[in-house]
């Protein structure tokens, strides 16, 4: 059907992605230690790449909109708490890059049981 104005276009999604990478480049860790800043910048950029790549195959406008809203929520929360990681009370640290197979699936199960709605995008592979 014809695209409605409420739909997220590819360029909306890309500009959101670029916004996250911009935040990563200018991010300063709360501790102000260069080592922490460096790690957190890497994490933000890597997390963005992982999630945006995972969600690339989503074509349903409703899902795209939900994922971008979740992304924006994470940005707001991250900036507000000066903490790029999902809040520790909700879920184990993200080890997506290093975890494989069974361990990852177990972690995803845990995560599914205990996480806020705005992080749904993690499961949509």
The dihedral sign for the CA sequence 111, 87, 116, 125: negative
pTM, two decimals, is 0.63
DSSP state at residue 123: G
Determine the number of helices (DSSP H) and then strands (DSSP E) in the chain. 4, 0
Task: Return left, alpha or beta for 111; rule: phi > 0 is left, psi -120 to 50 is alpha, else beta.
Answer: alpha
Q: Hey, where are the domains in the chain?
A: 10-114
pLDDT tens string 18-66? 999 999 999 999 999 999 999 999 999 999 999 899 888 888 888 888 8
């Amino acid at each position: 059907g014809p695209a409605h104005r409420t739909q997220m276009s590819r360029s909306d999604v890309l500009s959101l992605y670029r916004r996250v990478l911009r935040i990563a480049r200018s991010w300063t860790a709360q501790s102000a230690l260069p080592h922490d800043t460096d790690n957190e910048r890497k994490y933000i950029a890597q997390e963005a790449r992982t999630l945006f790549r995972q969600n690339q195959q989503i074509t349903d406008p409703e899902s795209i909109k939900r994922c971008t809203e979740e992304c924006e929520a994470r940005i707001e929360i991250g900036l507000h708490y000066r903490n790029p990681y999902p809040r520790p009370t909700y879920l184990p640290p993200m080890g997506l890059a290093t975890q494989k197979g069974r361990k990852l699936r177990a972690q995803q199960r845990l995560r599914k049981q205990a996480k806020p709605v705005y992080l749904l995008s993690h499961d949509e592979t």
